[in-house]
Structure 1
Amino acid sequence: MTHTPREIVTTVALGLPAVLGAGVFAGFAPAAGLAGWWLLPALVLAALAALCSAFSTADQSRAYPDAGGGYGYVRAQLGVWPARMTASAHLVGRGAMAAAVALMFGTYVVPEQPVLGALALVVMTAVLGAAGFRFTPRVSTAVSVVVLGVLALVVASVFSIEPVPSAGETGTANELIGVAGLLFTAFAGFERVTAPYRGERTHSPAALRIAIPVLIGLSLVVYLAVGAGVLRQLGSARLALSPAPLRDALIAADASALVPLVQIGAAVAGVAALHFVLTSAHRTLTALSEDGDLPTRLRPVVLTVVVAAASALAVVLMPLTLALAVAACATLFYYAFTNASARVLLQNDRTWPMRTACLGLGLAVLLAMSTPVPALLVSLAGLAAGTGLIGLTAALRSSLKERRTASPAHTPPARTPGRS
C-alpha cells in the first residue's frame, strides 16, 4: 500500500496536539529536581519506550480495529483478567493525566486560582466532547502550529540571553531511569494516530511506518530543545522549584512580554491534550460495558460524566507533580500489558518485528518500577482496586443473569370461581 507525503504530514499533525501537553509545559520541573541535566538523555530513553509501544498499538489496532484500545487487544490475545488489569491501569493513568493537564492549564492561565482553572477546563472539555466536537486534521494542524510556534519563541528567547549564574545544581545520573519513566508522559499521546476511534479514518501501515517515527522523533527534538533552554536559563535548582517553567524562564530571560503568548499556547495545548485523554478513557469504559465487565445500559452521556467527575476528583486530590508521576507509572503498566499482547500477534498481523514489542515490554516494566515511590504505590493501589471492582461488577452481573434464567416463568394466579 502506497502513501503520500501529505498523508504522513496529516497523520503527524493529528498526533502532535495529543503529545504536546502537560509534559512540555510542566514536566521538566520534577525531572530536574531528580536528575538535573541528566533529564535530557532520560528523554531519549522515554522516547524509545514510546516508539516501541506505538509500534505495538499500531499493529494491534490493525488486527483488531473494533477492539476498543489496549483493553480490547489484551482481552483478545491474553484473556479476561489481564484485560481487566489493563483497563484499570489505563483508567488510573488517564485520570491522573487529566489532572496533570488541567493543573498545567490552571498554573499558566489562572495562576491565582490554578485548581479552579483546572476544574473549569475539565468541565469545558467534557461538554465539548459530549457535544460531538472532534479534533479534525485541520483543527489539529492549527493547534500544532500555535503550540510549536510558542515553543519556538520560548527556545529562541532563553538561548538569546546569557543566564544569571545558578545558585547550585540538583539531581544525579542515578535517577536517569526514574526520570525517563516520569517523562514517558511527554510522548503518551501517540495512540491518537496508532489506534483511531471507531468511525475515524484509519491510517495505512505504509504511512504509519514513517509517521510514527516522525511523530516521536519530532516530539523528542522539541522536548530536548525546550528542556535544554529552560535548564540553561534557570539552572536545575531553580527549575525544580518552578510551577510554570516556561513562564519563569521567559521572565529570567527578560522576555516577560512573551508570557501572554505562553499562556495562549498552554491553553490551546491543554484543551487539545485533555480532549484526547478524556476521549481515551471514555473509549475504555465503553469497551468494558460492551464486554459485560460494566453495566451494559450505561449511556455515553453517563460515561462522560463519570470520566469528568473522576478527573475533577484527581485534580482536587493530587498536586501537579504527583499527578504527572502517577500518570506516567500507570500508563507504563498499561503499555506493559499492551506490548505483552503484541508479542503473540501472528506474523501476518505485524508491520514491525516482535523484538520491538519485547523491548517495549521490558522498558515499560523497568521505567514503571523506577518511578517515584509515592506514584508507584498510588498506581499499584489503583490497579488493584480497579481490577477488583471490575471483576466484582462482572461477577454480580453474571450471577444476576443466571438467577433470572433459572427462575420459573411468572404466571398469573388462578381466577377464583364466581369472581370477575
Structure 2
Amino acid sequence: MSTSAKSAGTGELKRGLGVFDAVMIGLGSMIGAGIFVAPGPAAAAAGSGLLLGLGLAAVVAYCNAMSSARLAGRYPASGGTYVYGRERLGDFWGYLAGWGFVVGKTASCAAMSLTVGSYVWPGQTHMVAVAAVVALTALNYTGLQKSAWLTRVIVAFVLAVLAAVVTACLSGGTADAGRLAIGADATVSGVLQAAGLLFFAFAGYARIATLGEEVRDPQRTIPRAIPLALGITLLVYAAVAVTVLAVLGPEGLAHAAAPLAEAARAAGVPGLAPVVRAGAAVAALGSLLALILGVSRTTLAMARDRHLPHALAAVHPRFKVPHRAELAVGAVVAVLAATTDIRGAIGFSSFGVLAYYAIANAAAWTLTPGEGRPPRIVPVVGLTGCLLLAFALPSASVISGSAVIAAGAVAYVVRRFLGRTRG
C-alpha cells in the first residue's frame, strides 16, 4: 500500500480475491455489453476494414495490459494507474490518470446502465438504468465477495449466449467468407476510428489492477490474471466479430441496432433473438458491476491523497469496502443514466480511458529490469497507440474529452497554487 494510504488512517481493504476471481472480474468487465453494441458504430466507421480495427484495438489493449500487469505487481494498491503515474512520473501525472479514469469510466457506467435499460424495457430506458445503478451499488456496498460471486454467474451466462450466436450463424448457411474481404471503403481514418470505438469493449482489465489492494498475493496474482482475462476476451471477440460480419456484411452490420440479434435472425434462428437481448442485458449488468468497483477504488485512492474530498477515503469497518466512494460514484452515475445517451457516452469514455492508459505505458517505460520491466517495445506501442486512437475518435468525443481532461489539469494547478499561498 502507498505511504499516503497508510497515513490516511482510513482503514484497509480486505484481501480476498485469488487468480480465478480476478480473471472473472476482468472478464465481467470486458465480455460485457461492448460486444453487443460496439460492432455497429465500428462497422459504420471502418466498413470492410472492421477486422483491421479490431486487430489494432487488440494490439493496443495487449500492450496496455502488459504494462498495467507489470506495474500492478510492483504497486499492489487500490487506484491502478493513478498510483503508478504518481510513483513513477510524479504527482501531476498520477492525478491526471486518475481524473481521466474516473470521468471516463463514470461515462462507461452510464453507457452500461443505459444498455441494460434499452434491452430490458426500451420504453423506460432511463428509469431501468437508474434502478440498475442503485441495485448494484447496494450490492457492492455489502462486500466484494458477493460481487465476485455474481460476476461468475454473469460471465458464464454471457459466454453461453455468445457461443450460441456463433454456432447458429455458422450452421445456418448464411455466413459468407467473401464478406470478410477488405474493400475500397476501408480507409485509414475509418479503421483508426473503429479501433478507438472497439477499444471501449476491451478496456476492462484495468479493473483487476484497481482492485490490487483486495487481491491475495498481488505480486503474482495480478500479472497472471490480466493476460489471462485479456487472452480469453480476444478469442471470444474475434470469433463473434468474424461470424457476425460474415453473416451481415459491413453495410448490414453498420445499420444494425442490435448486431448479434440481427445476425441470429439473418441466420434463420429468430427464436435466438430474445436470448441475445437477455444476454446483452446481463452482460451490461456485469460490466456495470465491475465498473462501479473500479471507479470507486480509484476514487478511494485519490481521496486518500486529498485530490478528491477526503471523506470519500473511508473504509467500512464491517464490509471492508470504500463505502462512501461507492455511494458517491453510484449517485453520479445515476444522474448521468437519467440524462445522457449511450453513443455519446461510449466515445467520451474511450477518450478518457485511452488517456489513462497512455500514462500507464509511460510509467511502465520507467521500470528497470529488476522491477519487472516489460520489453521496451510494449510501452512504446501502447503509448503511441493510445494517443493515435484517442484523437481518431469522433470529433465530438475528442473535443469533450480534451475539455474535461484540461479542466482536471487546471483544477490541479489551482489547488496546488492555493495550497502554497496558504502555506
- Flag whether TM exceeds 0.5 (same fold): yes
Query: TM-score w.r.t. structure 2 length?
Result: 0.84
Give the CA deviation at 1:161. 2.7
Secondary structure at the residue paired with 1:112? helix
The residue that corresponds to 1:411 in the other structure is: none
Pick the aligned partner of 2:51 from 19, 22, 40.
Answer: 40
| Residues 194, 281 of structure 1: alpha-carbon distance in 2 compared, 3 angstrom cutoff | closer
- 1:57–1:195: 8 Å Cα contact kept in structure 2? no
**1:379 and 2:379 correspond:** no
The DSSP-based 3-state class of the residue aligned with 2:207 is helix
Q: Which blocks of at least 5 consecutive residues in structure 2 are unaligned?
A: 1-17, 315-321
Q: Secondary structure at the match of 2:279?
A: helix
Q: How does 1:139-218 map to 2 (within 5 A)?
A: 139-163=150-174, 172-174=186-188, 175-203=190-218, 205=220, 212-218=226-232
Matches within 5 A, 1:67-82: 68-82=79-93
User: For 1:103-153, what per-residue CA distance to the aligned partner results, in whole angstroms no more than 9, with x for missing partners?
Assistant: 222222222322222222122111211222446665544332211110011
Percent identity (aligned): 33
Q: 1:113 aligns with which of 117, 124, 128?
A: 124
Q: How many residues align?
A: 392
Aligned mate of 1:53, from 49, 53, 64: 64
Structure 1: distance between partners of 2:107 and 2:205: 17
| Max Rg structure | 1
Map 1:275-286; keep pairs closer than 5 Å. Answer: 275-286=289-300
Q: Which residue of 1 aligns with 2:332?
A: 310
**Take 1:211 and 1:308, find their aligned partners in 2: how far apart are those partners?**
27
Q: Which amino acid aligns with 1:383?
A: I
| 1:381-396 equivalences in 2 (<5 Å) | 381-393=403-415
Alpha-carbon contact 1:143-1:269 (below 8 Å) kept: yes
Contact 2:78/2:300 (CA < 8 Å) preserved in 1? no
Residue type matched to 2:239 in 1? A
The alignment partner of 2:268 has SS state of coil
Look up the equivalent residue of 1:157 and give its one-letter code.
A
Deviations 1:288-323 (A, max 9, x none): 111122232334444223312332343344422221
What does the per-residue CA deviation read over 1:211-260, in whole Å, with 9 as the maximum and x for residues that have no partner?
A: 54443232122112212222233333332233322223223333232233
Q: 1:12–1:69: structure 2 CA closer, same or farther, 3 Å change rule?
A: closer
Secondary structure at the counterpart of residue 306 of structure 2 = coil
- 1:122 alignment partner, one of 128, 133, 137: 133
**Partners of 2:326 and 2:416 in 1: how far apart?**
21
Q: Does 1:241 align with 2:251?
A: no
Shifted more, 365-374 versus 114-123: the winner is 114-123
The TM-score normalised by the length of structure 1 is 0.84
For the residue of structure 2 that corresponds to 1:292, the secondary structure is coil
**1:365 matches 2:365:** no
In terms of mean alpha carbon deviation, does 146-155 or 264-273 score higher? 264-273
Checking the alignment, whether the CA contact within 8 Å between 1:74 and 1:82 is kept in structure 2 is yes
Once the two structures are TM-superposed, the CA of residue 210 in structure 1 deviates from its matched residue by 5.9
Distance change (3 Å), C-alpha of 1:86 and 1:58: same
Provide the residue aligned with 1:326 in structure 2. Answer: 348
- Shift of the 67–138 alpha-carbon distance from structure 1 to 2, 3 Å rule, reads closer
The change in CA–CA distance for 1:280 and 1:212 in structure 2 (over 3 A counts) is closer
Counterpart AA for 2:98? A
1:349–1:64: structure 2 CA closer, same or farther, 3 Å change rule?
same
Task: Point out where structure 1 has 5 or more consecutive residues left out of the alignment.
Answer: 1-6, 403-420
Shift of the 164–290 alpha-carbon distance from structure 1 to 2, 3 Å rule, reads closer
32-41 vs 315-324, which deviates more?
Answer: 315-324
- Tell me the residue number matched to 2:96: 85
**CA deviation profile, 1:39-73 (whole Å, cap 9, x unmatched):** 11211111111111111111111222226211111
Paired residue type of 1:96: A
2:309 match: secondary structure: coil
Instruction: Tell me what 1:26 maps to.
Output: 37
